[in-house]
Structure 1
Amino acid sequence: MGCCDTPGLMPIETAISKMLESITPISLVVDLALDQAVGHVLSEDIHSPINVPPFDNSAMDGYALRSSDLETATQLPLAGKSFAGIPFEGDWPQGTCIRIMTGAQIPEGCDLVIMQEQAQVIGDDIDFSQALPVKLNQNIRPTGDDIEQGALVLPKGHKLTSRDIPMIATLGIPSVSVFQQPKVAFFSTGDELKPLGTKLKAGEIYDSNRYGIKVMLEKFGCEAIDLGVIPDDKELLKQAFQQAQSQADVVITSGGVSVGEADYTKVILDELGEIGFWKIAMKPGKPFAFGKLLETEERHSALFCGLPGNPVSAVLTLYILVQPLLAKLAGHSQWQPQPSIPAISQTRFKKAPGRTDFQRGIFSITEQGTLEVSTTGNQSSGAFRSMSLANCFVVLEQDRGHVEVGETVHIQMFSPSFY
């Protein structure tokens, strides 16, 4: 029996596949002003309504010429100027040149631009002997050189980035059609969790999970609804689940899904929905719950994800397991997990076979171009300092044991949602 067949442990890939099979993407479409659209997913293709650039323009500050004029003379008088936004107008006599600036419209008949560094002003003439020989269309950006009219610029299902917004603006498009972002309500459970700014008593800790969950959800492109900390009280927990379900497409909790601590949570979820409590073959983050809070007369149905309570486990399961679910729900059809890249271990990594281990690491590149990685130290699921120091996950395979210095491991660099 292989490690992937370990009784009671569900492989990560199986868990993700099971969740994705049950997801129907949100179909509600909204129109947003372009400056409000970053992070949203396009609900339709964007085709360019214009050529970019819309006219032939100069790539350099210099002089616009007809190449035929250089066949009889290397010194030409100026006939005028062409600036960005103020093109040359009027007749352009043979045997003359036009002063032109970067981005300015190319005068009709021009078939090359000579940069000003290759030209010399001699009295009323411009000498181009240093620029010879020349090439046709040199330093000219043709119409549609960047984007042709009618071309597909961005496809449906693309999540808009800060790099996309100025590109769309160059097309003159003021607003875009996008899918409504998923609404995700979340809360922490536990009597020991206290809000920031309060003085801790014996046995109490600060609730950190909600802060990590909130910023990650927003970077995933979701509307995050923070319902706070819910104590271990059956009636209060049930009210919190019902409130979350009424407000959101997805309900996420941290804590209450491990063996021995899920009494109230499991009973309530059995009443409100169809939830599976899974043991995932990953470390940290073995306990995980997924299912659906069922529709009632008062509330629509909502997906449910139960994260472990330990800080590293909560963030890791949200990143690895829940992120692809939310991407599909948002209509982000181009979403892909970060690729695995081989690196040479510079430190020992402790591991027992049985679960895929996501250890926190720091990668660097040597002068020779070799990718190396070291541990951040304490890999406990409750030690978040190791996550804060890291810039990658060291992904140790399910059936792998300890890693010694010099061995090859695979790392996953953090995605933008983790920065």
Structure 2
Amino acid sequence: MSAAATWSESGPRTVDEHRAAVAALLASSGVETVPLAAAAGRVLAADLTAAIALPPFDNSAMDGYAVRAVELTGASEGSPVELAVSADIPAGRTDVGPLEPGTVARIMTGAPVPDGADAIVPVERTESSDGGAGFGAGGGTGRVRITVAPEKGAFVRRAGEDAAGGAVLLEAGTVLGASQIGLAAAVGRPDLVVRRRPHVLVLSTGSELVAPGEPLAPGQIYESNGTMLAVAVREAGATAEQLSFVPDDVEMFRAALAVRVRDGVDLVLTSGGVSAGAYEVVKDAMTGHGVEFGKVAMQPGGPQGCGRLELGGTTVATVTLPGNPVSSLVSFEVFVRPALRAAAGYPDPDRPVVTARLAGDLSSPAGKRQFRRGVLDATNGTVAEVGSAGSHLIAALARADCLVDLPAETVSAAAGEPVAVWLLGT
């Protein structure tokens, strides 16, 4: 008895059973090293440690003067202390000498604090000896009056106060955004070790499919599932390439697939051709070659398939989705997206789920877990259905920002009842 017959004869799988079967197909995607600019949105695969301290040296937090605090004891607006300016220290200067006793050094934000100085006086608390602004012409010469007695450490950024050298800055498993990449750059890392993105070959099948922009003949439709699923794959954190318009011919289908399946393809993802009709090319081409087909107790998206396709001496993880666009994308959300994100190392592979109250009554077929398109009103905590349960209504799907998850045992849900809501686009 074939594996396909085993699933079919044992009855429909539950949603959770099929989620587990799909997840088991995709192992960890491995790691790679990428430049910082390419690391955005990726998952860190190894702890990031500080090769240097942050900051790497004591530096000024203000434009002003580096001083010895003790030499300004008692300074005030009414009794300023006048000292000579012995040096000029711009940011980036690398040859800063020690501060001479009885003098101050004009210093810019981020510039290294000279040895001997223990405080910074902001320029706003100073004036030049001729009564002008403390940063007047003359640069690192002349004299300056200081009208405040600073505490030791005032406006000094100490070396290592942000992070000590050798400290773990980011742990493996961190999702990298702008601030994390900025931190890596700040400690001198030009690249990072990240989890590799799973690579998905997306196939759309059907002799009736026509590329958008081409004229339609009677009985033809524009191909949308391939583009839709490829975008969904990329949004999930994987990479995608498309193979579209495979005719409803088993041998042509297998030949086209064999050419494109190669090292580096982690998953073959198809839409269409999996039901019980007479021209189900995906099912006909893959049955007996490692892929199981059957029903899942859900709506939309009942007919499903998955397994490790045996093709020309190699095997590749394969998930087959139904062809109606709503069924296809909802099935991707329920089964494929979490498996891809888990393989890529994301710590939270599932969509966020919240509880909301129904804005209107809903009915659901007995024994099937239903996923209805909805719009969430976060202000009052309600969710309203968009469109209806029809699996072809892609316009309604495009307006939805969530899925309403109705359990298999639910046959009706009244307005005001709490329901689980999967948040899309987050």
The TM-score with structure 1 as length reference comes to 0.82
Q: Is the 8 A contact 1:82 1:88 kept in 2?
A: no
Residue of structure 2 in register with 1:308 after alignment: 322
Aligned pair 1:184/2:191, yes or no? Answer: no
Change (3 A) 1:315 1:99: farther
**How far off its partner does 1:320 sit?**
2.5
* Residue of 343, 351, 356 corresponding to 1:338: 351
Mapped partners of 1:237, 1:61: distance in 2: 69
Gaps of 5+ in 2: 1-9, 132-142
Mapped partners of 1:364, 1:126: distance in 2: 61
- Corresponding residue SS for 2:319: strand
**How far off its partner does 1:304 sit?**
0.5
Q: Which deviates the most, 318-327 or 84-93?
A: 84-93
Q: Is the 8 A contact 1:253 1:307 kept in 2?
A: yes
* Residue of 293, 309, 333 corresponding to 1:319: 333
Mapped partners of 1:192, 1:216: distance in 2: 23
Aligned pair 1:249/2:263, yes or no? Answer: no
The TM-score with structure 2 as length reference comes to 0.80
Residue of structure 2 in register with 1:266 after alignment: 283
**How far off its partner does 1:205 sit?**
1.3
Aligned pair 1:356/2:373, yes or no? Answer: no
- Corresponding residue SS for 2:384: strand
How many residue pairs match? The answer is: 398
Change (3 A) 1:388 1:203: same
Change (3 A) 1:9 1:94: farther
Which structure: larger Rg?
A: 2
1:6-405 equivalences in 2 (<5 Å)? 8-27=11-30, 29-74=31-76, 75-76=80-81, 77=83, 79=85, 80-86=87-93, 89-94=96-101, 96-117=103-124, 123=131, 124-129=143-148, 136-246=152-262, 248-260=265-277, 263-271=280-288, 273-294=289-310, 298-330=312-344, 332=345, 334-345=347-358, 347-352=359-364, 353-366=366-379, 371-405=381-415
- Corresponding residue SS for 1:360: strand
Q: Is the 8 A contact 1:361 1:394 kept in 2?
A: yes
| CA-to-aligned-CA distance 1:104-137 (integer Å, 9 cap, x gap) | 22333444445445656673534444xx7x6553
Gaps of 5+ in 1: 1-6
Change (3 A) 1:195 1:63: same
Mapped partners of 1:137, 1:402: distance in 2: 68
Residue of structure 1 in register with 2:4 after alignment: none
Aligned identity (percent) is 31
**How far off its partner does 1:268 sit?**
1.8
Change (3 A) 1:384 1:96: farther
Change (3 A) 1:371 1:53: farther
Change (3 A) 1:114 1:414: farther
Q: Is the 8 A contact 1:245 1:301 kept in 2?
A: no
| CA-to-aligned-CA distance 1:332-362 (integer Å, 9 cap, x gap) | 15243133223344x2152315333333333
Specify the code of the residue in structure 1 equivalent to 2:90.
F
- Corresponding residue SS for 1:241: helix
Q: Is the 8 A contact 1:25 1:328 kept in 2?
A: yes
Q: Which deviates the most, 334-343 or 79-88?
A: 79-88
**How far off its partner does 1:209 sit?**
0.7
| CA-to-aligned-CA distance 1:68-101 (integer Å, 9 cap, x gap) | 3343323343634433213683342445544433
Mapped partners of 1:355, 1:268: distance in 2: 28
Mapped partners of 1:262, 1:119: distance in 2: 86
Mapped partners of 2:145, 2:299: distance in 1: 72
- Corresponding residue SS for 1:354: coil
| CA-to-aligned-CA distance 1:150-194 (integer Å, 9 cap, x gap) | 222344455544543333222222233445433321211122221
